[in-house]
Structures are given as structure tokens and as C-alpha cells.
Amino acid sequence: MVKKYWLILTLVLGLSLTVGTQATAIGTTVDQLDGKQAVALVEDAFEVQRSLSEKPREKADIETMLSEYFTDEQVKGFMEENLYKEGNGYSAFGSDFASYYIPFYEFDKETKAGFADGHWYIWEERSGDEEGPVSTIKGEEVVELTVEDWKWKVSGISYELPSGLKGN
């Protein structure tokens, strides 16, 4: 009887510690993101996309790489729009206006981050210059972060900043 009691106690304590640790990890991932971390996440996501042009890879590997930083919907769209068969694998070749790509941010003091309606928004202002080989649209280029699977991930890329963040 004493052995059963200790076994049950051990199981209950083990389960409690596991659940407590999981809750802490979830809380850290979801709740404790600040503006600098949001910008860093977008920069890391940009680097993953950029790396897809370095060498051909298996589709499953590309999906795994992207899924770390992008929502399921963004991964699916990116793969449909930007993957091309190359040799034994697939590559992505970016362009100035490729769908689902993180914009070419400077990732400096001009990169802004704001939180509104449960989402992080990272953006840079564009002047609309047409000098050089690249032209830009006047306004903001915006990356939206949303929680999916208990992690912040890129959920959208647009030219529309929520009205509550305009002027920041």
C-alpha cells in the first residue's frame, strides 16, 4: 500500500512539474515579447527566406524552416508562389515585389514596432523614390505578427498600418 501511495505521489508531482514548466514556456513565448524582440523575429524570418536561394532543398525541409517563423497560411502561400524546381530540389528566387517575402528593411533605428489588437506590427516608411535599380511605393511596408501554436509568427505583409499605430 505504501508503494502505491509513493508511486501515485511521484506521478502527481511529475505531472504537476511538467504542466507548470509547459505553462511557463507558453507564457514566455506568447506574453513576453517586446518591440526589439518582434523586430529581431522579423529579421530572422527574412534571413530564412533569403537563405532559400543559396542551394536547392527538399520541400519538406523548406516547409520546416519557414514554419518556425511564419504561420501555416504564410508558409503555404510562400511555397506556392515562390518555389521553383532546381536540380534535385527547390529554391526560392526573390525579387523587389515577390509575394510573401519580408520587405528589404534596413533593420535600424528607422524600423518601428507597435502592438495593437493582439498583434505586433513591424514597419519602415518608404519615400516613394525611383532612383537606382529599385523603386518603392510611398508609405509603410508592414509585417504583422500573430500567435500561432503558442509562438509569435509572421502572419501578413502589407502596405497598411493599423490606424491606431499611425503617427508612431
Please indicate, yes or no, if residue 58 is contained in any of the structural domains. yes
Please indicate, yes or no, if residue 22 is contained in any of the structural domains. no
Give first-to-last CA distance, the chain, whole Å: 66
Number of domains in the chain: 1
Please indicate, yes or no, if residue 56 is contained in any of the structural domains. yes
Domain that holds residue 50: 34-165
The mean predicted confidence, pLDDT, of the chain is 82
- The CATH number linked to 120 is 3.10.450.420
| pLDDT score, position 66 | 98
pLDDT tens, residue by residue, 118-145: 999 999 998 776 666 556 667 899 999 9
| pLDDT score, position 12 | 44
| pLDDT score, position 24 | 29
* Confidence class for position 32, pLDDT limits 50, 70, 90: confident
**Region 48-66: what's the mean pLDDT?**
96
Please indicate, yes or no, if residue 160 is contained in any of the structural domains. yes
Please indicate, yes or no, if residue 11 is contained in any of the structural domains. no
Contact 82, 157 (CB under 8 A): no
Please indicate, yes or no, if residue 18 is contained in any of the structural domains. no
Considering Cα of 78, then 79, then 83, then 88, what sign does the dihedral take? Answer: positive
Please indicate, yes or no, if residue 84 is contained in any of the structural domains. yes
CA angle 78, 128, 97 (to 5 degrees): 15
**Region 16-22: what's the mean pLDDT?**
38
Dihedral of the CA atoms 94, 45, 165, 137 (nearest 10)? -10
pTM for this model (two decimals): 0.77
Please indicate, yes or no, if residue 142 is contained in any of the structural domains. yes
